Amino acid sequence: MPELSLEDIEFIKILATSDATVLQAGMNDATRKRLDEQIGVILREYYHENTTFSGTKRIKEFEKAGITEDHG
């Protein structure tokens, strides 16, 4: 499980507060690939922890970064 980088945190915050259609229109292939391969994995791990109560690593990382369920 990779650690959250500052870049990951900013990417997740942007995703949580932006209109998906606007984001998709402005994405290049490198951004889309990163979203699929890295950010998507992180978000799935967070979702899994949050819904199955199977751990707290991602939840704690998100809280430390100031990302809560209220962000989207």
What pLDDT shows up at residue 66?
87
Mean pLDDT by 10 residues, the chain (72 residues): 83 79 77 85 90 89 85 60
Residue 43 lies in a domain: yes
What pLDDT shows up at residue 48?
92
Main-chain dihedrals φ then ψ at residue 52, nearest 5 degrees = -110, 0
Residue 1 lies in a domain: no
Count of structural domains within the chain:
1
DSSP collapsed to 3 states, 5-67? CHHHHHHHHHHHHCCHHHHHHHCCHHHHHHHHHHHHHHHHHHHHHHHHCCCCHHHHHHHHCCC
Enclosing domain of residue 44: 6-71
